[in-house]
Amino acid sequence: MNPFSHIGLFTKPNDTRVDKTLFQLHEFLLERGYHVHCDRDAGIILGLPTLPSDMLARSIDLAIVVGGDGTLLATGRLLADHEVPLIGINLGRLGFLVDISPDEMLTQLEQMLAGQYKEEARFVLHADVIREDEIIGSGEALNDVVLHVRNEVRMIEFTTRIDGYFVNTQRADGIIITTPTGSTAYALSSGGPILHPALQALALVPICPHTLSDRPLVISNQSVIDIQLCEDRDIPARVSFDGHNNIELESGDALRIHTRPEKVRLLHPQGYDYYHILREKLHWGVQP
């Protein structure tokens, strides 16, 4: 029995490079009798009607994302409530998450749509911004939540607590709270560890800390992280979610970060090898 029947197509906006692949994919699915639904950007390219985001998420049992990792991250956040599985076709640059090349797309999709795939569950972060005991904004991230200075080349000062326990007060350009999914993104360039996707862990990675002994800290993904900007240093800051949806912060504001119970489900071709992805994308040397 075919595990999928209603398939949603998602793509990156304003990028003509996806057109050929999207038309080819749409024709492939129609020939095999699938019901195809489109997000706004895919619908514009294909000339097909679209559905509002929430209705689209409820109407499909599989999402195919044509684009780069950023497009998949946005789609993953959109579909997390419904735990719709995702397949990524790589038309971006790095492609840690979207791991099917357009050249192999039809062959690999034929197998995956027949149920021959490897599934991973990736967890999502939720963060609330708190000012004077009131939540003034929230956001979600599949990669990372980042507290950082804005508009000035100055350090911010903040206090970190984990599960209510005081960790430290530090001065830095900011801090990255990363999932394993995001550990190969901004956190990696800031000196953070690579976390295997199967780990139920988070990493707190300081950005250019003033004290050299400040090092990345790996903790359980069940922990609750509280970070508060110190009130005696009035330096503008902001928090970002996967590099988007910025919320401006003032001195004394706090972040409370925890994982959501819902997961993002990623589907990979049979034979998917995470270490091969690392070697290829990070240009590691390969032993003969």
Residue numbers belonging to the annotated binding site: 69-70, 143-144, 154, 171, 173, 184-189
Q: Is 140 helix (H, G, I), strand (E, B) or coil?
A: strand
Q: Which of 172, 187, 182 is nearest to 259 (CA)?
A: 182
Q: What strands, in cross-sheet order, belong to the sheet with 144-149?
A: 217-220, 201-207, 174-178, 144-149, 237-241, 244-249
Q: Structure tokens of 46? A: 């294909």
252 contacts 229 by C-beta, under 8 angstroms? yes
Q: Report pLDDT digits (tens) over 9-49.
A: 999 887 788 999 999 999 999 999 999 999 999 999 999 99
Q: Report pLDDT digits (tens) over 214-257.
A: 999 999 999 999 999 998 777 889 999 999 889 999 999 999 99
Q: Which of 162, 239, 244, 250 is nearest to 202 (CA)?
A: 162
pTM above 0.85, yes or no: yes
**Which of the residues 19, 41, 61, 69 is marked catalytic?**
69
Is residue 69 annotated as a catalytic residue, yes or no? Answer: yes
Residue numbers belonging to the annotated binding site for NAD(+): 69-70, 143-144, 154, 171, 173, 184-189
